[in-house]
Amino acid sequence: MTTPLITAPALRALLASGAPLLLCDCRADLADPAAGARAHAEAHLPGALHLSLDDDLSAPRTGANGRHPLPGRAAFAARLAALGFADDLPVVAYDASGGMYAARLWWMLRWVGHGAVQVLDGGLAAWDAAGGALQGGAAPARAPGHFTLRPPLVSTLGFDDVLADLGSGQRLIVDARAPDRFRGENETLDPVAGHIPGAANRCFRDNLAADGHFKPVAQLQAEWLALMAGRRPADLVQQCGSGVTACHNLLAMEAAGLGGAALYPGSWSEWCAQPGAPVAVGG
């Protein structure tokens, strides 16, 4: 897999060829944790496995570790094996939200060393537009697979790392939330409004064209290079509200040939829960 995105026609052709592939339905709703499972039961890509953002792609909350904390790498790899993931099995993730949830699985698989993963560009709508079939009901349970925890293909920074780096100018923090939440307005998900001081704002939806597909590679590259202002991709730290949509920015950068930025998994929901953590408001 040489690109992190796959088109619906290309996915249809791949499935028709009989190539081994695991489809993963990552649909979710931040306001309704059960919505994704309900949508999956109604209709999903044939044979797709549903992964829950809260139950499969996050660890339990403690009140200080953010709204969607990462599980341990070994625990996540074991969970994937139990679900039927395997070392030699490529994965395609999709959702119905522009890739915001599928990107989380894309990043997490790379975090446990599995590089054979792509996101369906345009998601469920693109699949439907391409004439792809759907099925309802629960997908048959898969036999456990042999999934090996390998060195990560991505990098992370924790709260202490980000805090220690503030003001140094060495890294640029990029916040993937909507501009109003970044400015500290209309905050409904976290108890404190604002952003990490010095952060830039690049809403994850800015990676998408009006039709819900990712923008062309050249356009993504130009926009991200303008934001980077001469920095290397490795000088960027991506964050958002809870470490989910920041993965969308990482996916867009990877698609644009600008891979290497780090993720702050706890993001704003962890940051604002730490005593004394500095907060900025405004543009």
Catalytically active residues are 240
CB atoms within 10 A of CB 146: 10
DSSP-assigned letters across all residues of 93-142:
EE-SSTTTTHHHHHHHHHHTT---EEEETTHHHHHHHTT---B-SPPPPP
Q: Are 96 and 123 in contact (CB under 8 A)?
A: yes
Torsion of CA 55, 58, 64, 67, to 10 degrees: -80
Tokens in use for 225? 């290079």
Rounded CA-CA distance 203/252 in Å is: 12
Alpha carbons 277 and 283: distance in angstroms, whole number: 19
- For 49-103, the DSSP string reads EE--TTTTS-PPP-SSS-SSPPPPHHHHHHHHHHHT--TT--EEEE-SSTTTTHH
The C-alpha angle 61, 91, 116, rounded to 5 degrees, equals 100
- Which are the contacts of 256, defined by CB distance < 8 A and separation ≥ 6? 217, 220, 221, 224
Retrieve residue 68's tokens: 């969607």
